[in-house]
Structure formats: structure tokens, C-alpha cells
Amino acid sequence: MKKLIKYMGAITMLLSLTLMYSACKKNGGYYDASEEATPFAGNTYEYLKSKPGIYDSLIVAIDRMGLKQTLMDSSVTLFAVTNPSFQLALRNLNTLRRQSDKDPLFLSNIDGIQLDTMVSYYIIRGKKPTDSLKLQDGLNLASVKIGYPMHAKSTKGSASGEVGAGPEVIEFSNTKKSKFIRNWATSTTASNNIKTKNGIVHVISPDHIFGFDGFVTRLTFVPPPPNLMVTVGGTFSANRENGGGPTSGENSKKVIDGDDHTKFLCDLQGFLTMQFKLKTPEVSSVYTLISANDAQERDPKAWTYEASNDGLNWTELHRVNNFFFEERYQQKVFRCTNTVAYQYYRINITELRSGGTFQLAEWTINKTK
């Protein structure tokens, strides 16, 4: 009897091993659902509509921004944002608004200009399946409408604690127009390579916040009043120039050229004064600074904003200490209580984040509202 039990146990183990081997051989040890996915019979917009309860918010945003036709007849890749991503973004925004006793905002009434930009992040020109994103450095992408620079890279996720042993995911990034990865905002996909008649759909993970990290800041940002350097005009000067001279690529006038992708770079040498003489006296109680593209240690940390009517006697309007830009290409708006019309305005930079090399993308003097 004991021999029979022992024999039956051996047969059972042998059958189990045979079944396990067959299963592994059939799937190659790894099951990739994307390989067997059946293409959707309609266009990309119709695909979204076919999934009620999943993409409702995305459809509302697309319809409001007039992007429906793009998803119906253009060759595009959609990084599809699901309802939870929108819910997270709106919850964060309205929590902040409640603290200021402001009414809540919804997709139907938030600023259309900002919404248009953010929706466009996720719609990429051309078909970009996962295989096209397997380059070592990933692939630079251009969004629809404005060609905003995005980036995507295919990589293997983790499984059972082992890095690279899981399913293939895409790291999808808002580059913020910076070439430095540390400045990017990145999310991952939960599902890839859904094929439609006119494009590819990759589904963004539900823990992603719509708009990346700029949703709340974009919708709470109050733009500065008109730039007096442009509306009134005048003459710019600085007490220090770039080492390459006044015609170099990073000369002093780059700080007032209206392009945040250029910058003024020079040695601080203790302090730096940038001055603007308006054609006629004007009241300014607002000014702005925009951080440059790289090397945050070069950012200004402390300064004074001053005004004069003769260029000799100056009145301090605003003083800043221990200031830090959080991002590259970031515009900061500063306000003071000035009510006097001055012809001269200047900013005196006295301290940098670290080191002795100064840089700044833009400086503006703005009209009082």
C-alpha cells in the first residue's frame, strides 16, 4: 500500500511539472497583452466615446477646445487621461480656492487658454507605438496646435520587487522647454498600443494629475499688467556686460528682448545694476523676473527695486531677500505700493543663490493696474 501511495505521488508531481512547462512554453514565460490586442474599428475620438465612465472628463475638455476633429481624422498619438486624473487636479485647485473664499471651478468654466495648452500636451503629432520609443534616450515629441515639446521613453516596469521584470510602460514627460531631465514632470502609462483607424492610444496611469504639475499654478496665476518697456519705450543700461561684449549671444539686452529662451549672463562682481529710463514718467508698482534655462545657482537671491526722476536720487520701492525660483523659465510677479510716476527704474542684484555668475532670462517694469 505504501508503495502504491508513493507511486501515485510521483505521477502527480510529474503531471504538474509537465503542465507548468507547457504553460511557460506557450507564452514564452511572459504574457504581453499588447501583442494580441485587436485594433479598434473606429477613430480615436470614437474609441474614447466607447469607454463610458473612463474618459468622460477628457472628452469634455477635447470638445470644449475644438479638438474633436483632430482625433477623428488626423494621424495622432493620444496619451489618454482617465477621469481620476482630472478629479485629482480639480480637487487640488478647488481646495486652494476654498481657502481664499472663491467659488469652485470645473472643466466647463476654467480658463480656456490654459486648458487648451494642457489638453494639447497629451495629443502628439503622428503615430508613436511603443517600439518607436525604445531608443536609449527616448524620443522628442511635438504636441498638436503649438508643437509643445514633450518626450516619451519605453521602459520595463518592476514586478515582484525586481526592476525591469514587469510589463512595458512609457515614461511620458512634459519637458517644460528644458533640456535638463531634472526639470521635467513625468508620468507613466498603464496600457499601451491601442490601435485606432487614425492613431495610437496609450493610457496614462490613474494617479497622474492632469496638466502635470502646472494645473493649479496655471489656473491661479494672475498675469502682470502691461510692460512699460514695450508700451512706453525707453533706454536700457547695465553696469556690467557679458564677457563676450554687448553683441555676444548672452549680452545684457537679452534680459529685455521678450524671449525667455535667451538670457543675460555675466559676473556679479559684488552687485549688478540693470536700469531702464522710460520716455515719459509712469507709475510702476509691479515688475517681473523670469528664471533662465539652466544652472539654478546663478539665479538672483536678493535685490532692491528702485525708482528716480533724475537718475541720481533713488527711492527704494521693494526689497527681496532669500528668494528662490522653483523652476526654469518661471515668471515671478512682484508688487509694491508705489503711486508716484518715475522716469527711471532699476533693479540692484546683491546676492545669488551661490557662486559669482549671474543669469536672468527676462526683467520687465509693469504698469500699475
Domain-located, residue 21: no
Q: What is the largest CA-CA distance in the chain?
A: 114
Which residues lie closer than 8 Å to 7 by C-beta, 6 or more apart? none
Element (H, E) at 87: helix 83-99
pLDDT at 60: 96
Last residue of a domain, one of 200, 220, 240: 220
pLDDT at 157: 64
Residue 141 pLDDT > 70, yes or no?
yes
The proportion of the chain whose per-residue pLDDT surpasses 70, expressed as a percent, equals 87
For residues 178 and 236, membership in a common domain is answered with no
Determine which of 44-53, 90-99, 195-204, 339-348 has the lowest per-residue pLDDT on average.
Answer: 90-99
For residues 188 and 244, membership in a common domain is answered with no
Chain-wide mean pLDDT for the chain?
86
**Exposed / middle / buried, residue 249 (Cβ in 10 Å: 0-12, 13-18, 19+):** exposed
pLDDT at 128: 96
- 162 pLDDT band, cuts 50/70/90, is low
Parallel/antiparallel/unpaired status of strands 272-290 and 362-367: antiparallel
For residues 188 and 331, membership in a common domain is answered with no
Where does residue 230 fall: left (phi above 0), alpha (psi -120 to 50 degrees), or beta otherwise? alpha
pLDDT at 1: 47
Last residue of a domain, one of 189, 220, 251: 220
**Number of compact structural domains in the chain:** 2
> In Å, how far are 59, 69, 71, 114, 115 from 211, measured between CA atoms?
15, 22, 19, 9, 8
Domain-located, residue 13: no
Q: Which domain holds residue 331?
A: 229-368
For residues 67 and 207, membership in a common domain is answered with yes
For residues 256 and 315, membership in a common domain is answered with yes
pLDDT digits (tens, 9 = 90+) for 314-368: 999 999 998 988 888 888 999 999 999 999 999 999 999 999 999 999 999 999 8
Domain-located, residue 5: no
Domain-located, residue 343: yes
Domain-located, residue 12: no
The CATH number linked to 55 is 2.30.180.10
Q: What is the average pLDDT across 272-290?
A: 96
pLDDT digits (tens, 9 = 90+) for 91-140: 999 988 887 788 899 999 998 888 998 999 999 999 999 999 998 899 99
For residues 113 and 238, membership in a common domain is answered with no
Last residue of a domain, one of 195, 220, 245: 220
pLDDT digits (tens, 9 = 90+) for 226-268: 999 999 999 999 999 999 999 999 999 999 999 989 999 999 9
pLDDT at 37: 62
- How far does CA 113 lie from the centroid of its chain? 15
> In Å, how far are 35, 161, 163, 168 from 28, measured between CA atoms?
13, 21, 19, 16
Domain-located, residue 196: yes
For residues 364 and 285, membership in a common domain is answered with yes
- 16 pLDDT band, cuts 50/70/90, is very low
Domain-located, residue 16: no
For residues 178 and 53, membership in a common domain is answered with yes
Q: What is the average pLDDT across 276-303?
A: 94
For residues 197 and 297, membership in a common domain is answered with no
For residues 179 and 237, membership in a common domain is answered with no
The CATH number linked to 313 is 2.60.120.260
Residue 56 pLDDT > 60, yes or no?
yes
For residues 187 and 265, membership in a common domain is answered with no
- What distance in Å separates the CA atoms of residue 228 and residue 235, rounded to the nearest whole number? 12
Phi, psi of 314 (to 5 degrees): -115, 145
Domain-located, residue 283: yes
pLDDT at 127: 96
Residue 12 pLDDT > 50, yes or no?
no
> Bridge-partner residues for 364, per DSSP?
288
For residues 51 and 121, membership in a common domain is answered with yes
- 223 pLDDT band, cuts 50/70/90, is confident
Answer for the pair 283, 318: CB distance below 8 angstroms, yes or no.
no
- 10 pLDDT band, cuts 50/70/90, is very low
